[in-house]
Amino acid sequence: MASQRRAVVLIVARDVRHEVLVDPWGAVLVDDYVRVMERFGLEPFTDELLKALPSPNKLMRRRVVFCHRDLWVIADAIRRREPFYVLTGIMPSALKIHLGTRMVIENFRYFQEAGATEAFLLVADVEAVATRGITLQEARRRALEFHIPAWLAMGIDPDRTKFYFQSENRTVLRLASCFSGRVTMAQMEAIYGEVTPGKVIAALLDAADVLYPQTRLPGAPGVIPVGIDQDPHMRLMRDIVHRTKAEFGFRPPASVYHKFTPSLDGSLKMSKSVPESCIEIPEDPGSVERKIWKALTGGRGSLAEQRAKGGQPEKCVVFELFKQHLIEDDRELDRIYEECRSGARICGECKTYATELMVELMEAFQARMEEARAIVKELEFIRE
Amino acid sequence: MASQRRAVVLIVARDVRHEVLVDPWGAVLVDDYVRVMERFGLEPFTDELLKALPSPNKLMRRRVVFCHRDLWVIADAIRRREPFYVLTGIMPSALKIHLGTRMVIENFRYFQEAGATEAFLLVADVEAVATRGITLQEARRRALEFHIPAWLAMGIDPDRTKFYFQSENRTVLRLASCFSGRVTMAQMEAIYGEVTPGKVIAALLDAADVLYPQTRLPGAPGVIPVGIDQDPHMRLMRDIVHRTKAEFGFRPPASVYHKFTPSLDGSLKMSKSVPESCIEIPEDPGSVERKIWKALTGGRGSLAEQRAKGGQPEKCVVFELFKQHLIEDDRELDRIYEECRSGARICGECKTYATELMVELMEAFQARMEEARAIVKELEFIRE
């Protein structure tokens, strides 16, 4: 299938500055997904793995999900109908949803629907206090009024998902504190660079969160859908699991990684620090239209040249939006790809269509938010 | 009163190595209590303060309690019968009780009996995991089988005291994690020297513990009886209170400091690393006798010289044991002091008497342990 072939083309970052490759807290410096995979021992998401997963989602089919750790364990659990869990978290800071979060949600739902015994969505409220400088009250307010409703509006099923706040989960808080005695500062600095007390706690809480379901489902494998920038947390967690084997007997959950949504100017990842290159949810139609109109495409220097040589969708941010977010149907995506390559389709058409689909997405989101807010008022959160 | 005059004489440490003066985790380097007080702004425990406290205990009367922070606030609360709390903690590591712990208990009981609204004894089980390398299960086992019974055997009233394990107190765990975002690594290093993730957590848990009662008694002052080596935790806590004023609205509890029990060889503090110079509870009679017999005294070079010049009780470790631990009656202590100074009393008599009293103390402790263990089985611990 054409879309699979295309998906292995790598987007090359233009802002590579130094050797620290991935930083879950800030600047993103990944220059080459392959290098990251090799350096940190991530396994590629292969055709064979794709076949082993029932009804893979579009991110998997298109290799936006491009690597993993131990996902075979989950594929086996799905096939054998054995218990497993899926978990992800909300960081209740800015009142916007990053497009990357949509991909986490899509993967979370995939594993939930594939038969996860328990699916956990946690609110990293304590982590927000530790690393974002907001109060616990403010983190809670933002989560209840915006973030959790937003996740529901984007398709999380409240009846099939278990929710908790870190601040209310004694097991998570306890595990994080206990883990502190099993890691060294040198180890944390090797993974994260310079650390602060807040970052120490945040990293340990992250490990505690992803292992916490095993206190309810002892011995069960789990899967954590994350952006590649979150892999440092996964590495620390795996190290903690190893060092506390006799003490806690956890097993490291699998993790599955999606690529970034590129910035509209073509750099590796959308970032709030360049707002004109970043679409977040919600965003008003005028702003969506303006931003997409200025997006970097794979178009040629002139219309004549494009008609003659065809466009370059593998370099096109608008095509990446279609692939990652806007077009569900693989055949439609293939058709656009072929039309672009043949010169039959020009950039203006794609931008207009992408704007239309993105505005629809925003409108659907807003339409669902009110109902979602009502649901959140009735939600029960794990307290333990 | 003679015993008060004597109490201001300082025991000078012989192992001063560098400028870091107090370290709650290990090596003790205090060379001069006055210097510590001046450097860190501790207030002297004055005659005036002594008079303001109802029925001061022997440690206060004899200035073994030698300094404080904000204790006037508690003296006022006691006088006005206003709410206040007292809190202290057990570190469930080695299965021995340090003599210094007896002084903490004596001061804890003093404030409890002086009218504390709530008196908390916590088990620092998570801190033991974070800094002592033991498991949570092991920390819990040691606390239930030895430490809590030992504290009851030394006079803690189980009916008037509230107990909790850090691992079971969500409020404490949450506060510690939240505080991480309000301190810097530089600040922690300035207070503690080199820090590890475990030490970061332990220090933050310590602050959370001493402030936790204010979540039950909003706005109430508290008092924390500690050894002078624990003052770094108090300084960090006060800084955290200041930095989170708007967020949490805590007030720093008062703290009250006792001197160390000197090592039997005359150095500043008994330490398990020199077992022959250290008496801990429990200890068998033969060992007590042997160790006290070798203790440093203020005796002269010969019996004739001692009879002529008199002894020097202010330099005598055995006299310090009488003063801090073995003799309740001030008049008896004064008599020994005067007899020594006059040359009427020789070191052998004091050593024999100290051994007798110390063995009695050990026997009384052991006799109470069985009953205390039965009580602990019925104890209710705060879980929240």
Terminal-residue alpha carbon distance, chain B: 48
Please tell me the pTM assigned to this model: 0.89
Cα atoms in the Cβ-side hemisphere of radius 13 Å centred on A4? 11
Q: pLDDT averaged over chain B?
A: 90
Nearest CA in chain A to B197: A180
* C-beta of residue A238 within 8 angstroms of C-beta of residue A252: yes
Residue A272's CB is within 10 A of a number of other CB atoms, namely 11
For residues A26-49, give the mean pLDDT.
76
Instruction: Quote the pLDDT of residue B27.
Output: 35
Cα atoms in the Cβ-side hemisphere of radius 13 Å centred on B163? 23
Task: State whether B250 and B309 are in the same domain.
Answer: no
The pair of structure tokens assigned to A218 is 């002892």
CB within 8 Å: A174 and B173: yes
CB within 8 Å: A204 and B195: no
* C-beta of residue B315 within 8 angstroms of C-beta of residue B282: no
CA separation for the pair A1, A62 (Å, rounded): 9
B29 three-state secondary structure? coil
**What's the pLDDT band for B257 if we cut at 50, 70, 90?**
very high
* C-beta of residue B308 within 8 angstroms of C-beta of residue B317: no
CB within 8 Å: A177 and B247: no
Note whether residue B375 is domain-resident: no
String of b and e for B307-340 (b: at least 16 CB within 10 Å)? eeebbbbbbbbbbbbbbbbbbeebeebeebbebb
Task: State whether A337 and A238 are in the same domain.
Answer: no
For residues A161-189, give the mean pLDDT.
97
- Partner B contacted by A342 (CB < 8 A): no
Nearest CA in chain B to A185: B196
Note whether residue B270 is domain-resident: no
Instruction: Quote the pLDDT of residue B13.
Output: 31
Phi, psi of A179 (to 5 degrees): -60, -25
For residues A122-139, give the mean pLDDT.
96
Q: Which residues contact B5 (CB under 8 A, 6 or more apart)?
A: none
Among B residues 73-102, those touching chain A with beta carbons less than 8 Å apart? none
The per-residue DSSP string of A311-341 comes to: --GGG-HHHHHIIIII---HHHHHHHHHHHH
Cα atoms in the Cβ-side hemisphere of radius 13 Å centred on A209? 31
- Partner B contacted by A186 (CB < 8 A): no
**Does B247 score more than 70 pLDDT?**
yes
Note whether residue B379 is domain-resident: no
Q: Which residues contact B380 (CB under 8 A, 6 or more apart)?
A: B163
Task: State whether A88 and A175 are in the same domain.
Answer: yes
**What's the pLDDT band for B33 if we cut at 50, 70, 90?**
confident
Which residue reads 């040249």 in tokens?
Answer: A305
Q: Identify the bridge partners of residue A117 per DSSP, sorted by sequence position.
A: none
pLDDT digits (tens, 9 = 90+) for B124-136: 999 999 999 999 9
User: What share of chain B in percent tops pLDDT 90?
Assistant: 82
- Partner B contacted by A197 (CB < 8 A): yes
**What's the pLDDT band for B98 if we cut at 50, 70, 90?**
confident
Name the DSSP class of B230.
G
Task: State whether A246 and A288 are in the same domain.
Answer: no
E-only strand ranges, chain A: 43-44, 65-69, 85-90, 97-98, 118-123, 162-165, 222-227, 254-258, 280-281, 381-382
Cβ-nearest to B173 among A129, A136, A173: A173
**What's the pLDDT band for A156 if we cut at 50, 70, 90?**
very high
CB within 8 Å: B188 and A178: no
**Does B379 score more than 90 pLDDT?**
yes
CB within 8 Å: A129 and B176: no
* C-beta of residue B255 within 8 angstroms of C-beta of residue B228: no
Tell which of A131, A136, A180, A194 to mutate to test the B interface (max B CBs under 10 Å): A180
Note whether residue B242 is domain-resident: yes
Task: State whether A70 and A131 are in the same domain.
Answer: yes
The pair of structure tokens assigned to A376 is 């959140």
**Does B7 score more than 80 pLDDT?**
no
CB within 8 Å: B180 and A188: no
Q: pLDDT averaged over chain A?
A: 90
Helices (H), chain B: 2-7, 33-40, 47-52, 58-61, 71-80, 99-113, 125-132, 136-142, 148-153, 170-179, 185-192, 197-211, 231-243, 245-248, 285-293, 303-309, 317-321, 330-342, 347-378
For residues B99-113, give the mean pLDDT.
95
Task: State whether B125 and B217 are in the same domain.
Answer: yes
Instruction: Quote the pLDDT of residue A12.
Output: 30
Cα atoms in the Cβ-side hemisphere of radius 13 Å centred on B79? 10
Task: State whether A25 and A146 are in the same domain.
Answer: yes
**What's the pLDDT band for B52 if we cut at 50, 70, 90?**
very high
Cβ-nearest to A126 among B169, B178, B200: B178
Report the range of poorest mean pLDDT among A4-8, A309-313, B57-61, B214-218.
A4-8
pLDDT digits (tens, 9 = 90+) for B312-338: 998 899 999 999 999 999 999 999 999
CA-to-CA dists, residue A80 to A66, A250, A253, A262, B101, angstroms: 24, 21, 18, 37, 57
A70 three-state secondary structure? coil
Nearest CA in chain A to B185: A196
Task: State whether B151 and B210 are in the same domain.
Answer: yes
Choose the final residue of a domain: A263, A296, A318: A263
Choose the final residue of a domain: B233, B263, B293: B263
Note whether residue B301 is domain-resident: yes
Instruction: Quote the pLDDT of residue A213.
Output: 98
**Does B24 score more than 90 pLDDT?**
no
Structural domain including A66 reads: 2-263
Task: State whether B257 and B114 are in the same domain.
Answer: yes
Note whether residue A348 is domain-resident: yes
**What's the pLDDT band for A149 if we cut at 50, 70, 90?**
very high
- Partner A contacted by B130 (CB < 8 A): yes
**∠ Cα A164 A168 A172 (to 5°):** 80
**Does B268 score more than 80 pLDDT?**
no
Instruction: Quote the pLDDT of residue A206.
Output: 98
Note whether residue B105 is domain-resident: yes
Choose the final residue of a domain: A263, A284, A306: A263
- Partner A contacted by B382 (CB < 8 A): no
**What's the pLDDT band for B3 if we cut at 50, 70, 90?**
very low
Instruction: Quote the pLDDT of residue B216.
Output: 97
Question: What CATH number is attached to the domain comprising B362?
Answer: 1.10.240.10
pLDDT digits (tens, 9 = 90+) for B158-173: 999 999 999 999 999 9
B290: amino acid identity, one letter = R
Instruction: Quote the pLDDT of residue A7.
Output: 29
For residues B353-365, give the mean pLDDT.
97
- Partner B contacted by A204 (CB < 8 A): yes
Task: State whether A156 and A289 are in the same domain.
Answer: no
**What's the pLDDT band for A39 if we cut at 50, 70, 90?**
confident
Question: What CATH number is attached to the domain comprising A80?
Answer: 3.40.50.620
CB within 8 Å: A126 and B188: no
User: What share of chain B in percent tops pLDDT 70?
Assistant: 92
- Partner A contacted by B198 (CB < 8 A): yes
CB within 8 Å: B201 and A188: no
**What's the pLDDT band for B8 if we cut at 50, 70, 90?**
very low
* Gap from B200 CA to chain A (nearest CA, Å): 7
Instruction: Quote the pLDDT of residue A13.
Output: 31
Task: State whether B21 and B170 are in the same domain.
Answer: yes
* C-beta of residue A22 within 8 angstroms of C-beta of residue A232: yes
**ipTM score for this prediction:** 0.87
Residues of chain B with Cβ-Cβ distance to A181 below 8 Å are 129-133, 197-198, 201
Helices and strands (H and E) in chain B: how many? 19, 10
Q: What is the total count of domains within chain A?
A: 2
Task: State whether A224 and A289 are in the same domain.
Answer: no
Instruction: Quote the pLDDT of residue B31.
Output: 52
pLDDT digits (tens, 9 = 90+) for A217-238: 999 999 999 988 899 999 999 9
